[in-house]
Amino acid sequence: MGLFSRSEQISVRIENMNCGHCESKVTKALSAIPGVRKVEASSASKIATIHASKGQEPDHATIAQALEGSGYTAEPV
């Protein structure tokens, strides 16, 4: 079984993610959420994809709170 065989994927739009440094900050903030296994952030598409363990998927409020201290806001995709 691979890393994603028991995970769920959630994508959010982050309009103010504009560069590689932004991607790193977003990835770090979202990776700190319990149950998150991997984060892929793209400033080109302005999308962050969160891979979380099944049953531990963060809700939008949790995602927004994790990003709040970094200066980013997320919208559901």
pTM of the model: 0.89
C-alpha pair distances (Å), 24 with each of 1, 16, 19, 54, 69: 28, 13, 9, 24, 14
| Helices first, then strands: H and E counts in the chain | 2, 4
Q: Could you say which DSSP state residue 72 is in?
A: -
- In which band, very low, low, confident or very high, does the pLDDT at 5 lie, cut at 50, 70 and 90? low
C-alpha pair distances (Å), 41 with each of 1, 3, 55, 59, 63: 24, 18, 22, 18, 13
Task: Give the mean pLDDT of the chain.
Answer: 92
Domain span at residue 17? 7-76
Domain count of the chain? 1
Length of the chain: 77
Give the CATH number of the domain where residue 45 resides. 3.30.70.100
**Which comes out higher in pLDDT, residue 25 or 1?**
25
Residue 27: inside a domain, yes or no? yes
Residue 1: inside a domain, yes or no? no
Q: What is the mean pLDDT of residues 60-71?
A: 94
- In which band, very low, low, confident or very high, does the pLDDT at 7 lie, cut at 50, 70 and 90? confident
